Copies of this chain bind each other. A is one copy, B any other.
Amino acid sequence: MTDGMTIGRVAKAADCNIQTIRYYEQIGLIPAPRRSSGNQRLYDASAVRRLAFIRHARELGFPLSAIRDLISLVDHPAQSCEAADRIATAQLHAVEGRIRRLTALRGELERMVEECKGGRVADCRVIEVLSDHSLCETPDHGAPALAE
């Protein structure tokens, strides 16, 4: 019943689309499953769990490289937590940085939207702010560098 699920069923169960599953297999993030006589992939329940893990971590912003590391921890649950601690701490710092930048950004966007009340574009606060960096008071000194 749980054994021998086709890729479509797994995709639904793990809320992950089919191409993405094949992509994860291709880059070695999940193991290649066994095949039916007609060469179709057949998964068991553990594949669904792993995919759900990956998708959830992705939704939370972990890059695949970090997920790869986390998976190798999951696969060796008896060892010390140290590596997981390191990964999580690094991830925590990254997340904190992103929150800081996004919070500054939210303030600016709120101000823009607030002041843009049906005027004409010529007076549009949104465009004014975007045009002049000095109008924006990022508490973050350097370049916000949205990326990452």
Spell out A's residues near B (CB within 8 Å).
15, 49, 52-53, 56-61, 70, 73-74, 76-82, 84-85, 87-89, 91-92, 95-96, 98-99, 101-103, 105-106, 108-110, 112-113, 116-124, 126-127, 130-131, 133, 136, 138, 143-146, 148
Which among A61, A101, A130 has the highest number of chain B CB atoms within 10 Å?
A: A130
* Between-chain CB contacts (< 8 Å), 26 pairs: A56-B130, A58-B146, A59-B101, A59-B145, A60-B101, A60-B102, A61-B101, A61-B102, A76-B121, A77-B122, A81-B118, A81-B121, A81-B123, A81-B126, A84-B121, A84-B126, A85-B113, A85-B116, A85-B124, A91-B109, A92-B106, A95-B105, A95-B106, A98-B98, A99-B106, A146-B148
CA distance A109 to B124 in the complex (A): 38
Contacts A81-B116, A133-B56 hold; do A109 and B121 have CB atoms under 8 A apart?
no
- B residues in contact with A81, CB < 8 Å: 116-121, 123-124, 126
- B residues in contact with A121, CB < 8 Å: 73-74, 76-81, 84
Q: Give the distance to chain B from A112, nearest Cβ to Cβ, in Å.
A: 5
Question: Are the CB atoms of B109 and A88 closer together than 8 Å?
Answer: yes
- B residues in contact with A79, CB < 8 Å: 120-121
Question: Are the CB atoms of A109 and B92 closer together than 8 Å?
Answer: yes
